[in-house]
Every structure is written in C-alpha cells, then in structure tokens.
Amino acid sequence: MKVHLGVDIIGMPHTITATPANVTDREGAAEMISLFRSKLTSVLKVLCDGGYTGDDFAAIIDELIGAAVEIAKRSDLHKFVVIPKRWVVERTFGWLDKYRRFWKNCERSTDNLVQLIVISFIRLILKRF
C-alpha cells in the first residue's frame, strides 16, 4: 500500500489517503485531493517532488482546488543537499517510521492503515503539548 499525505509547512497532516501499490503517485494524490477538496479551499500552492511532474497533474489540481503545483526537484549533483521545503513531508514520514507497525505493510485494508496513521499523529501531537 502507498500512503499519500497532505501536510502543512510544519508537517502536520491535513489529508491522509492510502491506496493499493498499483496506483501511481499522481493518481493517488489526485484522489486524495478530490476526497478532501472541501478542506483545501484556502490552499494556493501544492509542493510536490519529481514524481508528480507533468502538465496533466497540474491541470487536475488546478481544476479540483484552484492551486498551482510547484515541483521541488532533486539536485542534479549526486551529493546530499537539503532542498528547501522538500524535507517537510519526508520528516513527517520519518515520524511515522518510529512506529513499529508501519515498518512493513502489515495492514490488510487501506481504511485500517489510515486510521492507525491518524491515531499515531494524535499521539505525536499529544506528546508535544
């Protein structure tokens, strides 16, 4: 299964969707945004990595929520370089990696996986405050 997260600038999730592994990243993200479009009315820009490039994806996002798509591309150098803003989602997935249950795909249904991710974020938020 693939997990698609829509996070804000500090890494807190606003949208979470899980899809089967045979769904592409673009299709999964478009599905996530269409499911939560009523929550995303104030979004002006969607920041994505290189897997979401393409005019078709940008057109779908513009049609769904009226937001522009910005691609945060990797450095052409084959060295580790921190790319501004790109690390936000990676950090959020890193928080989830601390939970043993998410190390492997143990869940049978996507709904169960999404609910466990929600519970994990609730725990994470409660620990911080």
Domain ranges in the chain are 2-128
At residue 78, the pLDDT reads: 63
At residue 90, the pLDDT reads: 80
| DSSP H stretches of helix in the chain | 25-35, 55-65, 87-97, 110-128
Residues of the chain with pLDDT under 70: 74-84, 103-105
Contact by Cβ (8 Å): 91, 11: yes
Q: Tell me the whole-structure pTM to 2 decimals.
A: 0.78
Residue among 37, 39, 17 nearest 28 (CA): 17
At residue 58, the pLDDT reads: 92
Q: 3.40.50, 1.10.730, 3.30.450, 3.30.420: which CATH number matches 2-128?
A: 3.30.420
pLDDT in tens, 14-26: 999 999 889 998 9
pLDDT in tens, 54-67: 889 999 999 999 99
Angle between helices 55-65 and 25-35 (to 10 degrees): 10
Residue 54 half-sphere exposure toward CB, CA atoms < 13 A = 10
At residue 10, the pLDDT reads: 84
